[in-house]
Amino acid sequence: MTSITESENNATRDIDKVSTLDALVLINNEDKQVAFAVEKVLPEIATVVDQVASRLENGGRLFYVGTGTSGRLGVLDASELPPTFGVERELVQGVIAGGIDALYKATEASEDDRDAGAAELRTRGLTAKDTVIGIAASGRTPYTIGAVEYARSIGCVTSCITCNPGSPITQSVDYPIVAVVGPEAIAGSTRMKAGTAQKLILNMISTVAMIRLGLVTGNRMTGVKPTNAKLVDRSVRILREETGLEETKATELLSVAGDLSTAIVMARTGASVADAKEALAANGRMIERTVRMLTNAEKDADDN
């Protein structure tokens, strides 16, 4: 039986015969369905987010595993978290069949190796504290299924993001997420609607997990790393909004602190750079928890 992601789409059957604008309209009409498909699985996504956040808070890591477009999307999401939220690069990792070369060129044959995904997770020291999410539009990729089966066998929390209900990977994980986006505008080209759905879901999982960890204040990315001029300006603006400092003092404090989280903690507690960094490290870089710890420590010292 042909899977949904490989089926032909009746609505776009003549896409090769219409004008450029009409072809774009056909594709756009298909894309409009993606957000609604994701909306239907929000409860399943929420469950996975809570599992991920709990594991991360207790010393675990998050691994995305996939091949082709799915693998590239996982690597993309993982790679953007350190500069956005200030977390360590090892906290969320993308694993793609074929390794780094597969990020910019096709290595499709590597996806058929069922043992390779598990082997890669072993080399990264996977433990029962970690979470593994397999990303597979078709839900039947051997590399990805092998990885999540191994992860589940050692006690990891496992999930998958797929677009085919009842596919093999949904039977191999604890928490399947199945966004049924329907046949692609170009049959089997899962870089299109399926890839868009996967990207939306990955954004949700990682962003809300970081929020649950306390790495966002309001809707401000208070862990952002000021690694270029744009991010320095953003960091100064957030520091001012969080503390009420005027621009010159905020700029000076950010320069002394070296990063936004440290600067916020210093401004709110009066701690030194070293004490603020040490306290942040001890509290998983969670600002509110760090501020409470330092404030309580200062209060205890005054009481004594």
User: Which region among 124-128, 131-135, 167-171, 221-225 has the lowest average model confidence (pLDDT)?
Assistant: 221-225
pLDDT confidence of residue 304: 53
Clarify whether 111 is annotated catalytic. Answer: yes
Count CB neighbours of 71 within 10 A: 29
Residue 223 lies inside a defined structural domain of this protein: no
CATH of the domain at 168: 3.40.50.10490
Rounded (to 5) percent helix, strand, coil in the chain: 60, 10, 30
**In degrees, to the nearest 5, what angle opens at C-alpha 283 toward C-alphas 299 and 93?**
170
User: How confident is the model over 193-252, as pLDDT tens digits?
Assistant: 999 999 999 999 999 999 999 899 889 999 888 889 999 999 999 999 999 999 999 999
Indicate which residue of 6, 57, 80, 288 is catalytic: 80
Tens digits of residue pLDDT in 159-185: 999 999 999 999 999 999 999 999 999
Euclidean distance between CA atoms 44 and 46, whole angstroms? 5
From the candidates 111, 120, 184, 242, give the one annotated as an active-site residue: 111
Average pLDDT, the chain: 93
Same domain, 187 and 291: no
- Please give the Cα distance from 181 to 36 (Å, whole number): 8
Q: 39 an active-site residue? A: no
Confidence grade of residue 43 (pLDDT, cut at 50, 70, 90): very high
pLDDT value of residue 225:
86
Q: Is residue 217 part of a domain?
A: no
The model's pTM: 0.91
Tell me what pLDDT residue 111 has. 82
Please indicate, yes or no, if residue 206 is contained in any of the structural domains.
Answer: yes
CA dist., res. 242 & res. 91, Å (int): 26
Mean pLDDT to the nearest integer, 250-269: 95
- In this structure, are 208 and 262 located in the same domain? no
